[in-house]
Amino acid sequence: MAEVKRINVGVIGTGWVGGIRANACAHNGIVDELHIAEINPKRQSEIQAETNPTSITDNWQTIIDNEAIDVIVISMTPETQRYPILMAALEAGKNVFVEKPIAPTIEEAEQAYALADSKNLKITIGYSRRFDPRYVYVKKSLREGLIGDPVTCLVSRHSTRELGEKITGRSKMSPTSIGGVHDLDFVLWCLQPRKPIRVYSQTAGKLFSKKSDTPDHQWVMVTMDDGTTVTIGVGWILPIGYPNYVQAWIEVIGTDGALTIDDTHKEVQFNTTANGIRYPLSSMPGEPIDHVFAGSMYDETGHFLEAVAFDRPAMVTREEALTVMSVYTAADLSVERGEPVVLPRNDNTNP
């Protein structure tokens, strides 16, 4: 039997999502050594017990300095402190899987891609919806013209306030830049080669504004260069239900048909006298159930490991990453100005 090429991986930050990534790496046959950097001692011992890593440290620099490591997964938070780690990893010659957002600004994202290109390294971003078969079906249907010419696409997504509080507590980012970004990436990916030319966005907030400077919800309308309209709404104040429950409703309407995805996770109901109805398997990152995983993160993580091991293309391209960034930064600017923003931008504010 031919030898399988194996690679060594370092995961930085093993909270909720990084914990899933670390487990996905530990279970993946092409991973030889797994190294972990995690600053929370309790989380360190949990992840050590789960994944039996080759090494574990509280200093991410130790992982970056390890010459044997081929791939770094950056899942630590707050998001605003991630960019120096990304650049250090690339500088050290590592291929990088980074959770969104890749960088605070488009300019910094471009610098990261330039550095990766100069060293022949791969970058991908954790746009996990691209690994959900129902979402990929939309891409395939549009590519094959199954619903004719697209006319309008809508994604409405809401998560619990429990998750909203966690996200807004760690960094001041808009609902679109931290949550809606997944749906923007998904819709823009499906609509390729069409390009976004105009963005209008509004926020609303009556709950979180009592404690922080963050809205409860953001709507974004995007006009594509062929006239297709895109509407993405993201909110994070649903009442507490199943931990980190997320519901989404998707409509893609075309000249010859329509696609609707009910991603509201009502298919598994767990009803107890103690807690009433709960919806297991309903969080965005998914969850392990014995020997299987509910969600797309295992496949997504494995895809990048294989891209590195077998020199295949990473899932998210530089152009796609920068286009998504240009739309969500334009959306936040539109909120600030109260008017539509034209793309490509020809001003230098808020890049």
Q: Quick one: 143 or 172, whose CB is closer to ligand NAD?
A: 172
Q: Which is nearer to ligand NAD, 14 or 334 (CB)?
A: 14
Minimum distance of ligand NAD from residue 312's CB (angstroms): 21
- Distance, CA of 174 to CA of 37 (rounded, Å): 28
Q: How far is the CB of 232 from ligand NAD (least distance, A)?
A: 15
**Least distance in angstroms from the C-beta of 323 to ligand NAD:** 18
Closest approach of Cβ 18 to ligand NAD, in Å?
5
Shortest reach from residue 12's CB to ligand NAD, in Å: 5
SS3 sequence of the chain: CCCCCCEEEEEECCCHHHHHHHHHHHHCCCEEEEEEECCCHHHHHHHHHHHCCCEEECCHHHHHHCCCCCEEEECCCCHHHCHHHHHHHHHCCCEEEECCCCCCCHHHHHHHHHHHHHCCCCEEECCHHHHCHHHHHHHHHHHCCCCCCEEEEEEEEEEEHHHHHHHHHHCCCCHHHHHHHHHHHHHHHHCCCCCEEEEEEEEECCCHHHCCCCCCEEEEEEEECCCCEEEEEEEEEECCCCCCCEEEEEEEEECCCEEEEEECCCCCCEEECCCEEECCCCCCCCEEECCEEECCHHHHHHHHHHHHHCCCCCCCCHHHHHHHHHHHHHHHHHHHHCCCEECCCCCCCCC
Taking the least distance from each CB to ligand NAD, the nearer of 229 and 249 is 249
Instruction: Find, among 293, 291, 294, 315, the residue nearest to 304 by Cα.
Output: 315
Question: Residue numbers of the site for ligand NAD (CB under 6 A)?
Answer: 12-18, 37-40, 43, 60, 75-77, 79, 99, 126, 128, 178, 284-285
Q: Which of 134, 337 has the CB closer to ligand NAD?
A: 134
Question: What is the closest distance, in whole angstroms, from the C-beta atom of residue 82 to ligand NAD in the complex?
Answer: 7
Nearer CB in complex with ligand NAD: 254/265: 265
Residue nearest to ligand NAD (CB): 15
Closer to ligand NAD at the Cβ: 229 or 244? 244
Residue 100 in tokens: 């969104």
* 218 within 8 A of 335, measured Cβ to Cβ: yes
- CA distances, 276 to each of 106, 240, 246, 279 (Å): 45, 12, 17, 10
Of 134 and 143, which CB lies nearer to ligand NAD in the complex structure?
134
> Measured from the CB atom, is 39 or 87 closer to ligand NAD?
39
Shortest Cβ 347–ligand NAD spacing (Å): 28
Q: How far is the CB of 261 from ligand NAD (least distance, A)?
A: 16
- The residue (of 178 and 309) whose beta carbon lies closer to ligand NAD is 178
Shortest reach from residue 67's CB to ligand NAD, in Å: 20
